[in-house]
Amino acid sequence: MALTLTQVRSLFGAQAEAGGTGNAAMAIPALRRATAAGAEAKGIARETKDPVTLTALAQFRVALDKAGSIEQALQDPRILKVVMPALGLPDQAGNPGLVRRALLSDPADAKGLAAQLGATWKAAAATLGVHATGLDGLRDPAMVQRLSDAFLKYQYRSGLDEEQAGLSDALYFLEAARTAEDVFDVLGDPVLRRVVTGALGLPDQLAVQSVEAQGRAVTSRLKVATLQDDRAVRKLAERYLIAAANSAGAAAAATDPMAMLTALSVRA
């Protein structure tokens, strides 16, 4: 008699679900819960009590007070740990050299590094404004509060991914999709790119192609103008979530010894 995966898990005392990444059936309900009125405010309120988040914010403020220059501040890991997620570039926190050069460039200068790196970097440099205000601008209480609030939001949303893969990306996409004026704005924003290519089923290997070829691959399947349509954007976010859940489930199964036993047709 062939054993099902559920039976094998039961025999070996394993949990019914591997990991906390949810599944495709849970994806859309999870998005509905996360976008329900008041859901995010409650989640962020809980995040303000999280000891890990509080420690990061406290270290950010201490480092900011001790910084001797804006250049020094933009290379301090305690500062970048908060600033980069707050600016929508969490994966760049460990790249201080690039961060310093990009955020100190003038985002209005088409030849400046921030502008050349794409829409997300340009927006980050414009939001921070330290190319003009320097360390005083970064230390401004309003700026510190703005960055702290954005970091809290990032921390809250990142935590949602533990329950449903890709949920933080989907929420960002719902907010930011309208900002994309052309396909290169989509490709230049890591999250917009991830959601759109994931929803369209484009392969990861697309990244090795030229930007022009990537743009053609996207526009052959999607009119960028549809990103101005809330219903269309929601549908794309849902498709991405389902794809992310399936991908996470496949990855979990590939490393799950119980699933491996089933794949080997365990028989009693």
Residues 132 and 69 in one domain: yes
Residues 160 and 208 in one domain: no
Q: How large is the average pLDDT for residues 106-123?
A: 93
The pLDDT value given to residue 43: 97
Mean pLDDT, rounded, of the chain: 89
What band does 22 get if pLDDT is binned at 50, 70 and 90? confident
What band does 256 get if pLDDT is binned at 50, 70 and 90? low
Q: Over the stretch 58-94, which tens digit does the pLDDT of each residue have?
A: 999 999 999 999 999 999 999 999 999 999 999 999 9
What band does 123 get if pLDDT is binned at 50, 70 and 90? very high
Q: Flag whether pLDDT at 169 surpasses 50.
A: yes
Residues in Cβ contact with 117 at an 8 Å cutoff, skipping those fewer than 6 apart: 102, 188
Instruction: Look at residue 139 and tell me if it is in a domain.
Output: yes
Range of the domain at 31: 25-164
Instruction: Look at residue 224 and tell me if it is in a domain.
Output: yes
Task: Decide which of 127, 149, 164 is a domain's last residue.
Answer: 164
Residues 173 and 120 in one domain: no
Q: Which residue has the higher pLDDT, 114 or 15?
A: 114
Residues 60 and 184 in one domain: no
Domain count, the chain: 2
Q: pLDDT over 70 for what percent of the chain?
A: 87
The pLDDT value given to residue 253: 72
Task: Decide which of 164, 180, 205 is a domain's last residue.
Answer: 164
What band does 204 get if pLDDT is binned at 50, 70 and 90? confident
Residues 80 and 122 in one domain: yes
Q: Flag whether pLDDT at 15 surpasses 50.
A: no
Residues 171 and 140 in one domain: no
Residues 157 and 187 in one domain: no
In angstroms, rounded to a whole number, what is the distance separating the alpha carbons of residues 197 and 195? 6
Task: Decide which of 105, 140, 164 is a domain's last residue.
Answer: 164
The pLDDT value given to residue 18: 37
- Domain containing 40 — which CATH number? 1.10.3700.10
The pLDDT value given to residue 78: 98
The pLDDT value given to residue 250: 83
